[in-house]
Copies of this chain bind each other. A is one copy, B any other.
């Protein structure tokens, strides 16, 4: 635990189908923690990054979290990106979000606007994820020994790549579709943890070649690319399952603890 880390304040708790969902606040960060009702000592902790314009309880993120918690015993944490979900949005971010919406409804390419916006958001989100991870590992029910993975789509990918490039605790990464630019490519070169990266092959907003360039850029010794027919949403159920199995393979307990 980082000496300056603050304490997580849990603000609500609900439980259904074997999954406990607890909302939390940590300084300015708002988040949610999904865990199995039967605690699994040493099972993976997965940090989950939502897409731009969404929030910690984005439908796809929640579907994936519930799958991996109930089927594989993982613990999943999600936080709102700066200016997203329960957090105030500053004027500059509001302007950027409006610009994305306007470009999309005008049928113009959104990639250039999205890339600038997400790069700015990810830069701010990286230290927030580190603070969150410090605080989660300080909780007795989680502790410092669980292996940690990161899952994300879109903005969540940009954040996760930047985080993994500087944060050795991230031991495996499972990503979905994302707009690719040179900043992201450069960060990917610094990532050495195993990566699973899935490309929606028929999403007209995403460029296939730049997706393959991103896959090539990862410095990871083991990396896997999945392309599936369809668009970014919904992610096929079998890919959710594949992501969880990927984490099972790579996130072995670091202490004597054994997973479920």
Contact = CB atoms under 8 A, between A and B. Distances in A.
A98 interface: no
Contact of A224 (B220, B222, B229, B241): B229
Contact of A221 (B227, B229, B246): B229
Which DSSP category, helix, strand, loop or mixed, fits chain A's interface? mixed
Nearest to A216: B201
A225 B228 CA distance: 6
Given A221-B229, A226-B225, A229-B224, A249 B238 contact: yes
Number of chain A interface residues as a range:
20 to 34
Interface string A72-91: 00000000000000000000
B229 A238 contact: no
Contact of A238 (B221, B227, B245): B245
Contact of A201 (B201, B225, B227, B229): B225
Contact of A225 (B225, B241, B242, B246): B225
A212 B246 CA distance: 23
Interface in A214-253: 215, 220-229, 238, 241-242, 245-246, 249
Interface of A: 201, 208, 212, 215, 220-229, 238, 241-242, 245-246, 249
Given A221-B229, A225-B225, A238-B245, 16 more contacts: A201-B223, A215-B227, A220-B229, A222-B229, A223-B228, A223-B229, A224-B227, A224-B228, A225-B226, A225-B227, A225-B228, A226-B226, A238-B246, A238-B249, A241-B245, A242-B242
